[in-house]
Chains A and B, each alone.
Chain A
Amino acid sequence: MKFLRILILIFISSNSFAAIEYHKFIQPEQEATYKLLTKELRCLVCQNQTIADSNADLAKDLRRQVYEMLQQGKSKDQIIEFMTQRYGDFVLYNPPFKAKTGLLWIGPFAFLLIGLIMLIWVSRRRNQHNELTENELQKKARIKSLLSDEAEQ
């Protein structure tokens, strides 16, 4: 019964691709490149979607462009160059490391480093604080033991 249910679910589920148009590829490598590229290129209309996910008209046109260029035998790098020449680095989901995008790449690590330094600094100060109280505790314990020794005698 459970098996049947799973089977039914498998049949009624489908991969949701916004890319509704059908592109025929003769070479499987080209299809793989197409899938890879459409997931790396940003749709500039709906900026938080890739052109593979977006249903915007521009995304459709850009998918067509990628497909046609692959059919012409263009490489992945040539297509990326074509897109960045027209739309700038913003079209790439992974912007290249440049002076302009440096903060974008280094920023998170820099903040992590600052956080770590702060953490070490704060915990060191606290440790010093704890050492003092530990010293005091030891003293207290000694006093206690001395006192109890006295009481026993």
Chain B
Amino acid sequence: MFKYLAPLVLFIVLAIFLAIGLNLNPRDIPSPLINQPAPDFALPVLNQPGRTLTKHALIGDVWVLNVWASWCVSCRMEHPVFNQLAQQKLVTLVGLNYKDEEPAAKQWLSQRGNPYTIVLQDQEGRTGIDYGVYGVPETFIVDKKGVIRYKHTGPVDESDMQNILIPFIKKLQAEIE
């Protein structure tokens, strides 16, 4: 009996392991920055020459950091979702224009609409490194104390926005500072 059962059990165990492995997303690397203070930055603001913004200007409010670039194809996919979020006027939406050219970024926004409260330019990608960015687009949610609470890697789709991001933003907004 054991002779026949053992290979079957072995096969089932192996199949379960492989099934789990296949369903994991290798692009989804857990960020060590969750529940850590958002890294500081001082970046020039797009369309406002001479102005720089630091993280401290945003403390006290929940804000969403969306890393995007005009060369990023999947950013086009998620862009309408962020345009819709902007219409709701729910939250401060900071765009991090990552390793991009200024004219290209401006053109991109004028063609597709600008959902961002403010757009920061990270032309050398240094702030990107500080935020552990490895696959644009990436989206971070930062709480009122300036702590990163959530990270989404890859394009945000309609259902991610409605079911995960918006409820999370509302939850953080309800938190007492």
Which residues from chain A sit less than 8 Å from chain B, CB to CB? Answer: 44-45, 47, 57-58, 61-62, 65, 84-88, 90
Complex CA distance for A90 and B31, rounded to whole angstroms:
10
Name the residue on A nearest B71 (C-beta): A57
Binds A, one of B113-121, B130-138, B167-175: B130-138
**In the complex, chain B residues 124-166 whose Cβ is within 8 Å of any chain A Cβ:** 124-126, 128-132, 134-135
CB atoms of B129 and A90 under 8 A apart: no
CB atoms of A47 and B26 under 8 A apart: yes
CB atoms of A87 and B132 under 8 A apart: yes
CB atoms of A86 and B29 under 8 A apart: no
- Counting chain A CB atoms within 10 Å of each CB, the highest count among B30, B33, B129, B131 belongs to B129
The listed residue (B31, B39, B129, B134) touching A65 by CB distance below 8 A is B129
Interface of B is mostly: loop
**In the complex, chain B residues 16-49 whose Cβ is within 8 Å of any chain A Cβ:** 26, 29-33, 39
Cβ of B99 < 8 Å from any Cβ of A?
A: yes
Question: How extensive is the interface on chain B, given as a class?
Answer: 10 to 19
Complex CA distance for A45 and B128, rounded to whole angstroms:
13
Residues of A within 8 A of B135 (CB): 44-45
CB atoms of B132 and A90 under 8 A apart: no
Residues of A within 8 A of B132 (CB): 86-88
The listed residue (A47, A61, A87) touching B32 by CB distance below 8 A is A87
With A57-B99, A58-B134 given, is the CB distance from A86 to B26 under 8 Å? no
Give me 8 A-to-B residue pairs in the complex whose CB atoms sit less than 8 angstroms apart, sorted by A's number: A45-B135, A47-B26, A57-B99, A86-B32, A86-B33, A86-B130, A87-B29, A88-B29
- Counting chain B CB atoms within 10 Å of each CB, the highest count among A47, A58, A62, A84 belongs to A58
Residues of A within 8 A of B124 (CB): 61
Complex CA distance for A95 and B69, rounded to whole angstroms:
31
Complex CA distance for A85 and B148, rounded to whole angstroms:
13
